[in-house]
Chains A and B, each alone.
Chain A
């Protein structure tokens, strides 16, 4: 591992690239070679530093943190001479250092514990040596030289690691089943088909710390006796795919993948497989069908993949986050891992916190933390100091949890008891301005579109639910709608083949359970309490408060507002498109929503 006195980050944001950022990088390299500094100064590419429109191409030199902007290749010789040889800042091109903000992953907050995300943003993902310098591949060395496959499985069992893809099946048990399944050829698969809208935990791990996933997979392969593995990544993640490919290549060069790994006699190699845009491929049997080159449709289990998986051979499938935990468990021990969390859910979980919360982005918290702590401490509360209404966990097949249940600890069992799921880790916080019927409709739209169409209950049932919800939101709800919804939900849950179908009713069931009053207001009173459903709201200007300033009339896109200057204005309900612009613009609070 080489050590450098300086590290230069050059922005290769698309706009900077268009402004010839790569010419800057080449010129910088040439100049550093010329000055004999190439072994002392390291040049790295980074997605974005400042504002690429006005400042690019730009770069930041560490450790001093000097931010150079508006670079061109002609100035590079002078810049290298001044900054790196003479140690003087080239003032003409320097601006005060703006600390690059990672919009997805902030510094850990109180109550966060980073295990899976520990290296993300810390090591250079494109350089295996950086990972190795941070204890990388030490766990693999330990496994291959000191532990039998059974001991590895026992360690993972003792740690009580559970599948982070959402279902929470004990990982060690899965490995044991695959190990015990008869057959010489076995496979390892990493499920990196992270499709839940708003969830990007796995992408950041693949992009920021690819080797922890590779190391975890090699250890799993050793444990079950597999020699070939696949990483199935969604095609929407091109950077993750190229980072993983490079990481695999580097691991192969160092003999960490391929024949006779570290001289142990154990051989294992990995291949990248890409999806082609189908949410259902995150389901394990659908994923395998897709790797085999078919339609990504789930099949009946049993047989489970551990018995009959890829090409009918025993196969172990885990999610990105699950594998990324494994090296740490081996290095620090099962006891350390099991010291975090609740009785049945150990370790940490990453979440993508989104919605009406002040701090959004990725977080990693120990199991057992309460939802209230996540929303109000880690997330720093609701934006604009509005009131909290619900938190939606588990992605589109998850449920909405109301304020009364916020003090429950976050673990697999508790979340499913209250009608939601752990899922892969999406978490959307909603404030009082959210209509829960509208939210249920939104998730149902997604599920209905992504249903693969194999089973009737899911294919037709979700469509029927969606139609009813659309009607309710449009003010056409009927008296027996709630009963029909409940019946449909039960039937879909009980009669669908895979997790997508079985989980499809969750958004509706959970909102019916905790927010029934909103459904009733929509159906029986034709009223949307959160003022969201456009067909059910009416904007009116209040006499006596309106000053006749004409702001609303001038800004109404539908020309629905009339009135003389200094006279009370009036909204024509037939023309009003309910865009809410007048409501936002009125400085006197004269417009009401009913």
Chain B
């Protein structure tokens, strides 16, 4: 119960700050939801409720946008998000081995979050850097020309 109150207070503080910098115009909804993702790690039901009140939009409307885009999530995500490119150009230059190496290093399947909440492992469509495939994004850092042996080393750079 106490945790819930603290979480709600944090949400209130985050939403207040975001709405202050973005305003409440409808066209800001996607940038706002992205900012919520950055601050809270996901778009919680409480965040949707508060945004609904401040932006004068029905909760259902916000929910429908939040679930439409791949980069927005209504489920909690880990501290770091790995996005692995699964498109054809990466696939044909050894993408499958990288995928296996990631699964092994993280011990989870794509779409899942590690039990310690450190990693969320997602696959993504083309990142447009096919010249240096296979590629992956860790948070906002891009890694290309990947070899399976590099994976543990790259992951160890993140706390």
Contacts and interface: CB of A to CB of B under 8 A. Distances in A.
A contacts with B: majority SS = loop
A312 interface: no
A296 B71 contact: no
Interface string B121-159: 000111111111000000011110000000000000100
Contacts of B125: 195, 197, 277, 279, 446, 450
A462 to B, nearest CB: 16
B29 A200 contact: no
Given A276-B30, A290-B30, A196 B126 contact: yes
A18 B143 CA distance: 13
Q: Interface range on chain B: under 10, 10 to 19, 20 to 34, or 35 or more?
A: 20 to 34
Given A197-B125, A279-B125, A360 B27 contact: no
B88 A293 contact: no
A360 B64 CA distance: 40
B69 A293 contact: no
A355 B33 CA distance: 37
A522 to B, nearest CB: 20
B143 A14 contact: yes
A276 B89 CA distance: 22
Contacts of A290: 30
A198 interface: yes
B69 A292 contact: no
B65 A200 contact: no
Given A197-B87, A428-B88, A18 B157 contact: yes
A276 B15 CA distance: 19
Contacts of B126: 195-199, 236
A203 B69 CA distance: 21
B72 interface: yes
Contacts of A446: 87, 125
A104 B131 contact: yes
A293 B68 contact: no
Contact of A103 (B25, B87, B132, B140): B132
B70 A276 contact: yes
A295 B66 CA distance: 9
Contacts of A355: 92
B70 A278 contact: yes
Q: Interface range on chain A: under 10, 10 to 19, 20 to 34, or 35 or more?
A: 35 or more
A302 to B, nearest CB: 23
A304 interface: no
A237 interface: yes
Contacts of A284: none
B71 A197 contact: no
A194 B128 CA distance: 8
A278 B70 CA distance: 6
B46 interface: no
A292 B57 CA distance: 14
A352 B70 contact: no
Contacts of A352: 130
Contacts of B30: 274, 276, 290, 293
B34 interface: yes
A200 B130 contact: yes
Contacts of B89: 197-198, 354
B81 to A, nearest CB: 12
Nearest to B145: A103
A247 interface: no
Contacts of B141: 14
Contacts of A294: 26, 29, 65
Contacts of A25: none
A177 interface: no
A198 B88 contact: yes
B28 interface: yes
Contacts of B132: 103-104
A295 B88 contact: no
Nearest first, the 10 closest Cβ-Cβ pairs linking A and B are A277-B70, A276-B69, A197-B87, A104-B131, A293-B29, A197-B126, A103-B131, A277-B71, A200-B128, A295-B68
12 contacts: A14-B142, A103-B131, A195-B125, A197-B126, A200-B131, A236-B126, A238-B140, A277-B70, A277-B71, A293-B29, A294-B26, A294-B65
Interface of B: 25-31, 33-34, 64-65, 68-72, 87-89, 92, 124-132, 140-143, 157
Given A200-B128, A236-B128, 7 more contacts: A104-B132, A276-B34, A276-B71, A277-B70, A293-B26, A293-B65, A354-B89
